[in-house]
């Protein structure tokens, strides 16, 4: 879980400095490496992070429920 969060944060922050085409290539490369939920986490960061004052609250209110919903479906 930790590695995919690091990579999702990397994409979220890198989009400010890299072109769209470069980011799409990077995302596709990560998806080919079987990083689960990567694209969904990037989208979550882009859409919801701006609603929080700090990463801890975002993590508690968005990331943990996101993973809980994924793991509960796997049962």
**How many angstroms separate the CA atoms of 1 and 37, rounded?**
10
Say whether pLDDT at 27 is over 70.
yes
Q: What kind and span of H or E run contains 22? A: helix 20-32
Q: What is the mean pLDDT of the chain?
A: 79
The mean per-residue pLDDT over the stretch 23-33 comes to: 74
Q: Are 23 and 11 in contact (CB under 8 A)?
A: yes
Return the pLDDT at 51: 94
Report helix, strand or coil for 18: coil
Query: What is the spatial distance between Cα 58 and Cα 50, in angstroms, rounded to a whole number?
Result: 9
């Amino acid at each position: 879980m930790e590695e995919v969060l690091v990579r999702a944060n990397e994409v979220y922050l890198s989009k400010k400095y890299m072109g769209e085409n470069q980011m799409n290539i990077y995302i596709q490369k990560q998806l080919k490496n079987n990083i689960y939920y990567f694209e969904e986490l990037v989208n979550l960061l882009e859409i919801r992070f701006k609603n929080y004052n700090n990463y801890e609250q975002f993590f508690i209110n968005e990331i943990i429920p996101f993973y809980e919903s994924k793991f509960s479906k796997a049962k």
